[in-house]
Amino acid sequence: MSNKYDVIVIGAGPGGYVAAIRAAQLGLKTACVEKWTSDNGKVVLGGTCLNVGCIPSKALLESSHKYEEAKHDFDIHGISADDVEIDVPKMMGRKETIVKNLTGGVGMLFKANGVTSIHGTAKVLAGKKVEVTDNDGKVSSYEAENVIIATGSKPIEIPPAPITEVYIVDSTGALEFTEVPKRVGVIGAGVIGLELGSVWARLGSEVTVLEAQDTFLSAVDQQIAKEALKQFKKQGLDIRLKSMVQGTDVKRGLVNVQYKDAKGDQELKVDKLIVGVGRAPVTDGLLSPDSGINLDERGFIYVDDHCQTDVPGVYAIGDVVRGPMLAHKGSEEGVMVAERIAGQKTQVNYDIIPGVIYTHPELAWCGQNEEQLKADGVPYNVGIAPFAASGRAMATNATAGMVKILAHEETDRILGVHIIGPSASELIAQAVIAMEFGSSSEDLGLTMFAHPTLSESVHEAALAVSGHAIHVANRKKRK
C-alpha cells in the first residue's frame, strides 16, 4: 500500500469522516487516521459525537423522557400506567446498540467510498507529512498533498473538581451510571449540564445545578432563556446561579461540594457530581514544532474563513478551530474543505449556524438574538407565537414555549429565530432554510403550512412580525 495520498484526514468524528468521504467522492485518494480504540483493540470511528457525545446522550434523553411521560403524563390521555419502572442496564444497552450501529455504519461508508482507514495516533510534521503511531508503538510515515485536521475536543477539567472513576465524572462518565443516583450535582448550566441533568432528574434523581455566571444561558435570547429557566425549575431542577465551586472531596461514598454564592460559603452533598463546564480542543502531541501550524490565543488551531491554516494545503475543521463546538458545523466545514481542495468554491455561512439544547422543552436558535441587535443598534421588529395557541401542541400535551422571530425594521429580512417548545430542534431547520435564502418575515407569512402542525407556530410568528397574526394577539397595529 502506497503511503502517499491526495488527502489525509486526522480524526474520524463528524467533521473528519464527512471530509474524508466527500474527498473520496471527488476522486481524491483519501485516508483517515483515528486513534479511538474499542475494548478488543479495533479502530472505532465516529469520534466523540457518535461514541460519547451527541448520539448516546440523545438516546438517554429520549428514554428518560418516555419514562417521565409514562409515569406522569399518560393519565391526561386516559391511559393508566401503574408501577412504571426504569431498567437502567437495559436503557444503557439500547444506547450502546445505537452507538454500535452508527459507528459501524461509518466504517461501511468508508469502504463504499474507497476511504483508507488508518488506526493510530497522528502527528503533523513539516512538509505535510503525517506520522502515525499504532497501539504497539510502531511508527509509520505518510505523505499528503493536503491534510485536514479534525481532532475534535475533550471535556474541560477544573482544579476544584478533579475527575474520579466513580464519584466525580465528566460528560462521558455521566452516560455510564449503572443505577439512578439519589442526588446528582452538576457544575455548569450549559448545554451539557442541562441535558445530562435532565436525564437523571427524569429518572428520579434530585438534581442541583451550580452555575458560576449570574445570567442563565447568556448566549441564548434572554426571553427564551427566562422561559427555559421557569420550565426547568417546574421540572425539579434546582439551578443555582452565581455559584462558584471552590473545592470537592469524597467521604463515605458522598461528594462534598464547597461553593460560594451571594450569601457566602455553601456546601452541597451529592452521590454523583457531573462536571459539565465545556470542552477544549484536542491538540496535545498533534503538531511538531516545525509543522508551521499555529494556535490562537485560546489554544485553537488558527485558520482563515475557509479553514486553511498558516500552511498551504493544511486545513483544520470542527471543534479544534474557532466557532461553536457543534457536530453539524464541523461536518459542513469538512464538506467545504474537501470541495475547495477539489477546486470548487464552496463556503460555510457562519452567520446562521443553528444551536439546539435537547431538553424538554427543547431550545433552538439561529442568527442574532434580541440582546445582540440592541447592542449593535439594529432596528428590528419582533413576532411571537406561543405554543399555547397551537392545536397540535395541545393535542400532544406540549404547550410550553414559543417561536420568536426577529426581522429588520426597514427591510423585513429575518435576522434571528428563537424557539423553546416541542420539536424545536426540527422546527429551526425551517428558519435556517429561510435565512439562507435571505427571506423576509413576509415570505414566511405568505407560505402555506399544513394544519394542524407545530410548524404553524413558525408561520404565526412570521405574521406577528408585521402585526398580521391571526391566532395570537398582535403587538402592533396592522397595516
Task: Give the three cell numbers for residue 135.
Answer: 497501539
Torsion of CA 220, 221, 226, 232, to 10 degrees: -40
Among residues 306, 451, 459, 471, which one is catalytic? 451
E-assigned strand segments in 30-88: 30-34
* CA–CA separation, 313 and 8 (whole Å): 11
Amino acid at 353: I
How many Cβ atoms are within 10 Å of 218's Cβ, its own excluded?
A: 13
Q: Helix (H, G, I), strand (E, B), or coil: what is residue 280?
A: strand
DSSP 421: E
Cα–chain-centroid distance for residue 289? Answer: 32
Report the alpha-carbon distance of residue 348 to residue 327 in Å, rounded: 14
Counting beta carbons within 10 angstroms of the beta carbon of residue 425, is it exposed (0 to 12), middle (13 to 18) or buried (19 or more)?
Answer: middle
Residue 451 a catalytic site member = yes
- The Cα–Cα gap between 181 and 12 comes to 33
Q: Which residues touch 108 (CB under 8 Å, ≥6 apart)?
A: none
Strands 4-10 and 30-34: parallel
Residue 275: all three cell numbers together:
462536571
Helix (H) / strand (E) containing 386 = strand 380-386
DSSP state string for 120-148: SEEEEEGGGEEEEE-TTS-EEEEEEEEEE
Q: CA 283 to CA 316: how far, in whole Å? A: 11
Backbone angles phi, psi at 322, to 5 degrees: -60, 160
Kindly list the distances between the CA atom of residue 290 and the CA atoms of 80, 126, 127, 144, 287, in Å, as whole numbers in the listed order.
Answer: 68, 6, 9, 17, 8
Preceding amide of 452 cis, omega within 30? yes
**DSSP-assigned letter for residue 210:** E
What is the Cα–Cα distance from 461 to 235, expressed in whole angstroms? 27
Cα(388)–Cα(203) distance, rounded to whole angstroms? 27
> With 0-12 CB in 10 A as exposed, 13-18 as middle and 19+ as buried, what is 280?
middle
CB of 123 within 8 A of CB of 284?
no
Q: Which of 6, 35, 3 is nearest to 338 (CA)?
A: 6
Residues marked as catalytic: 451
